[in-house]
Amino acid sequence: MPEQVYLDWNATAPLRPEARAAMAAALDVTGNPSSVHGAGRTARRLVEDARGQVAALAGVLAGDVVFLSGGTEGNMLALSPALGDSLLVSAIEHPSVRCGGRFASVDEVPVTAAGTVDIEALQGRLAGRSRPLVSVMLASNETGAIQPVARVADIVHAAGGLLHVDAVQGPGRIACDFGALGADLMTLSAHKLGGPQGVGALIKRADISFEPLIRGGGQERGMRAGTENVAGIAGFGAAAKAAHENLATEAERMTGLRNRLETGLRVVATETVIFSEAVSRLPNTTLFAIPGMKAETAVIAFDLEGVAVSSGSACSSGKVTPSHVLAAMGVAPDLARGAIRVSLGRTTSEADIEAFLKAWAKLAENLYKAKKQQDIAA
């Protein structure tokens, strides 16, 4: 059986060889990074080297990086009532942000039909608030729409607030410079950029402090207790370094492949809708639909043809549910129910795109046949 064509990189990216090598080497290190003997210092060195690599990716100092278990924990840690009297989030945020972290209530800010945060609405929601905390993602995990984060930061800071950015989809695809974005806190996740699952980081300004979620031995400068996952962190650092160094070439290559894919979609079905097409998007992401298509049926059909795609976010325990992102954009429910996300990565090839388009042509043909039979029956 031929190897499956993997086009679900926004869900998780295959492990980079640099990360695999770093993890294998770290697994041979026995010491606890909090121990003061030689073995412990060796483990500590691996953690701190990785911290420097992640810091370089984000354009910050190593001391601004807090290692934790992933993007969800990073978001939960950042969304602390100690940082604001109220929480505002965009309507297209990841569920771990929309649930409000440690806030009792959340105020959602609408987005435009193109899938970017509505700046005027944000300004209106901020009026009269003394110390707001705002969370806006760097780029949508579903549509790929890049958010106007720097503009949002200016507005939030002018209102006396702080800005948290969920940037897990950015590294290896677009620049994630903490200072240029104007963020006060930023979440990263290793497995989205070719590191291991179960590792992430919260980037924070040095002058920001709040209560940790996990108390104990005081690791991570008191922000996250528990013995560090040395091998996972080493893999994260190596992946961050590779993603940072190869950003330009990988992004250019993915853009070309995405354009080829989207052209092919419309050659097969001229009525194809590509969501957030009118705004800047991640170079690897396409969310599309055609009228009459059901996402759950399409995902299975692609899988049977050896192509892995998704119906949007992969964070709903494998369930195919209506997209809150498309609902927030005002997409008609019938069209939204058929949305399929294709996300590419550093090893995606032209042959992979051709395999996808071949499967798409077969699926579209079957849809047209079914619709014709329904019309005849009617």
238's tokens: 């190596």
Question: Look-up: residue for tokens 């005849």?
Answer: 376
d(CA 193, CA 238): 10
Give the number of other Cβ atoms within 10 Å of residue 20's Cβ. Answer: 17
Ramachandran class of 70: left when φ > 0, alpha when ψ lies in -120 to 50, beta otherwise: left
- Rg of the chain in Å (alpha carbons): 22
199's tokens: 């590792």
Whether residue 315 lies in the annotated active site: yes
- What's at 298, amino acid-wise? A
48's tokens: 């701190």
- Are 346 and 246 spatial neighbours (Cβ–Cβ below 8 Å)? yes
CA–CA–CA angle 187, 279, 204 (5° rounding): 15
Q: Where are the alpha helices (DSSP H) in the chain?
A: 17-27, 38-58, 71-78, 95-98, 119-126, 149-158, 178-181, 230-245, 247-268, 295-304, 324-328, 333-336, 350-377
| Catalytically annotated residue among 315, 320, 327, 335 | 315
DSSP class of residue 16 equals P
332's tokens: 């008609």
d(CA 237, CA 272): 39
Of 106, 158, 164, residue with least CA distance to 135: 164
- What's at 141, amino acid-wise? N
Question: Look-up: residue for tokens 């650092």?
Answer: 237
d(CA 327, CA 142): 12
* Parallel/antiparallel/unpaired status of strands 162-166 and 132-135: parallel
Q: Which residues are catalytic?
A: 315
